[in-house]
Amino acid sequence: MTDHRRGADPKDAAPRGASSDAASSSKPRSKRAAILRRTLTGGGLALVVTLLIVVADELGSSLPVLGVAALLAAASVWELGGLGSLALAPRRVGLWAALVAVVGLAWLGVEGSISRGALGGLLVYGAAGAAGLVGHSAAGGREAGRLARTGLLALWVAPALPLMAWIHLDHGTRGLVLLIVLSKVGDIAGYYGGNAFGRHHPFPHLSPGKTTEGCLASLVGGAVCGAALGAANLLPAIREGLSPTLVGLGLGVVINLAAQAGDLVESLAKRRSGVKDSSAALGASGGFLDVVDSLLLTVPVALLAWGLVFV
């Protein structure tokens, strides 16, 4: 494979006298090993999520979902607050203030003190943005551009994960599992499809590793998965007159597009901060932000969409 890095010397590709077959075969082996590591990491995380949902169902409460989601959100806020050039002391204060506000409101929603659904979600997102701005400003950050960026980052990273507890409370285990599956199945299909067939790169400056073929594989995977879940009657109870298969297909497409957008938003954040991965906390899968990036946009979409099609 030709090395297209600027200044690369073809003579450096392999030591003199080394077997070209051995050099070329090492790359597929390394690639397969990386795919296997990511698969094992993803499988472990899926097992943890499954156990969480089982515990929540046994207790008959959505508070365990809120607790674990809040911890994941805290890990994401911690990573974002230290992300390269985005790391500013006032910004960290703003992001943590936003998370505290969100978790408090999410808990009130679980307890029934405030309305949930799309309107409740708007309240939570508004509080997150406002808390981010107030926290940043109170910590001494006055520069308008940085202040506005903190507000946007607070809206992006703080509200989504805690609001998964509302999905679980209002639409049960099926509603929460559907959200997680449709958010992540496209990642899996896109990752393997891109590695197998990827040739064209639609976002060379934003996300160089993303391919058109991988994006299409992700979309097809999400649509097929949603339709299959609908056909198998594994969706939450849908509104009268709607086709389960078509509902599943539509949700698969909508959630997948939101998931891919979430991945691109995280790529933009990392590109602006000058880092490759949010951290190395999860080994081959990168950091917490690298894993939950799709959910950061699919949860607000689900808050609206689930209320429209499910009873």
Would you say residue 247 lies in a domain? yes
pLDDT for the residue numbered 9: 37
Rg of the chain (C-alpha set): 21
Domain count, the chain: 1
Would you say residue 10 lies in a domain? no
Q: How far apart are CA 263 and CA 186, in angstroms?
A: 11
Would you say residue 145 lies in a domain? yes
Would you say residue 191 lies in a domain? yes
Quote the pTM value. 0.85
Would you say residue 31 lies in a domain? no
Would you say residue 26 lies in a domain? no
Would you say residue 254 lies in a domain? yes
Would you say residue 203 lies in a domain? yes
Each of the 311 residues of the chain gets a pLDDT tens digit; together they read 333 333 333 333 444 444 444 444 455 556 566 656 666 676 677 777 777 788 888 888 899 999 999 999 999 999 999 998 899 999 999 999 999 999 999 999 999 999 998 999 999 999 999 999 999 999 998 899 999 999 999 999 999 999 999 999 999 999 999 999 999 899 889 888 888 898 999 998 888 888 999 999 999 999 999 999 999 999 999 999 999 999 999 999 999 999 999 999 999 998 888 887 788 787 777 789 988 999 999 999 999 999 999 99
pLDDT for the residue numbered 31: 56
Structural domain for 140, as ranges = 40-309
